[in-house]
A = this chain, B = another copy of it.
Amino acid sequence: MEKGYRIAVVGATGAVGTKMIEMLEDTTLPIESVKLLASKRSAGKTREFKGAPLTIEELVPDSFNGIDIALFSAGGSISKVFAPEAVKRGAVVVDNTSHFRMDPNVPLVVPEVNPDALKRHKGIIANPNCSTIQMMVALEPIRQTAGLKRIIVSTYQAVSGAGAKAIEELKQEAQALLDGKSKEELDPQILPAGSDKLHYPIAFNALPQIDVFAEDDYTYEEWKMINETHKIMEDDAIKVAATCVRIPVVSGHSESIYIETEKEMTPQAVRDLLEKAPGVTLQDDPSQQVYPQALNSVDKKDTFVGRIRRDLDVKTGLHMWVVSDNLLKGAAWNSVQIAETLHELNLVRVPN
């Protein structure tokens, strides 16, 4: 690779797409060109890349002619149709939607956790769900050291995970309530799930629904955390339970995580381990009120871990608080990091 890769960003105008462009400005990946793709509606608009304007083009199958790496974040239905078209034209796809995640032929990758899974790629690599990624970054070092038997997680998820329109919805609702309007005067259209029947206010509220409901009265978001954990850690025996909740935060997912390990680890041993762990910033000093906060995680690539403490009854039980910018490590940064890792492992090519 002399000059660098020709990269396409699909869904360039979205909340994640915008961050993908920023992450590409900052990557170690050699880049020859960047092509921005979106729906017909957005075609013709411009976005800056390293100070120069790039014109957004309409996404069509031939958009991928001459592309080496395509980063997708325009919804599952777009990925379903266009990711195979990109692969057919020789591009390696890193897909941020849920569409291919559980496909046995598609590696589901968090570079700090399972980079070797990339070696099995057949053209498409899936980026895990935002709430799963940060949990994996925090727990993998513990799993490697002490084994992992069980996870119970309750999430505190930001609205930007539901896209740019959800951010606007939160802000408009918050302003209306601050102006003295009643909750009945609000007109929610997006949350808790754009595709579901009913919509509820998120401002000054907490909604225990992310994505639609599925088997056993768990939501898809909760199933994603369960199934993706098993796939990424390559261990279906880990017991995983999740309760996924949207709260009125713009960006930065927080998670209250309880785990049971095989071997007992002291909280201090966990701190020592995570202090050196890739992609983790330890923020854990109760005596100085140091712990991760959603507001402080924004625009940071790392996963922040704190409030590490022993369970009072179960010897191998530990509690912790894990926070990360859902648009970066949860989406755009993990996708670009996958591209960087593909480059390092010399895997930016579609196998025959």
Which residues of A come within 8 Å of B, CB atoms? 150, 152, 154, 156, 171, 174-175, 178, 183, 192, 196-198, 200-201, 204-209, 213, 216-218, 226, 239-241, 243, 245, 247-250, 252, 254, 256, 258, 267, 286-289, 291-295, 306-314, 317, 319, 321
A245 to chain B: closest CB distance in Å?
7
**Contact A295 B205, CB 8 Å, known A174-B174, A289-B198:** yes
Name 22 interchain pairs, CB-CB below 8 A, sorted by A.
A152-B152, A152-B258, A154-B256, A156-B206, A196-B289, A198-B288, A204-B249, A204-B250, A204-B295, A205-B252, A205-B295, A206-B293, A207-B293, A208-B307, A213-B287, A216-B312, A217-B309, A218-B309, A218-B312, A241-B311, A241-B313, A241-B319
Residue of B nearest to A171 (CB): B178
CA A52 – CA B264 in complex, angstroms? 63
Residue of B nearest to A158 (CB): B204
A144 to chain B: closest CB distance in Å?
22
Residue of B nearest to A311 (CB): B241
Chain B residues with Cβ below 8 Å from A287 are: 213
Contact partner of A294 (CB less than 8 A), chosen from B206, B240, B310, is B206
A248 to chain B: closest CB distance in Å?
5
Contact partner of A192 (CB less than 8 A), chosen from B239, B252, B289, is B289
Contact partner of A154 (CB less than 8 A), chosen from B154, B198, B204, is B154
Are B209 and A291 neighbours in the complex by a CB distance under 8 Å?
yes
Are B248 and A248 neighbours in the complex by a CB distance under 8 Å?
yes
**Contact A249 B293, CB 8 Å, known A174-B174, A226-B312, A313-B239:** no
Residue of B nearest to A237 (CB): B313
Are B241 and A197 neighbours in the complex by a CB distance under 8 Å?
no
A256 to chain B: closest CB distance in Å?
4
A98 to chain B: closest CB distance in Å?
19
Residue of B nearest to A172 (CB): B178
Are A208 and B306 neighbours in the complex by a CB distance under 8 Å?
yes
The 6 closest A-B pairs by CB, nearest first: A154-B256, A239-B313, A154-B154, A213-B286, A205-B295, A217-B309
Are A183 and B312 neighbours in the complex by a CB distance under 8 Å?
no
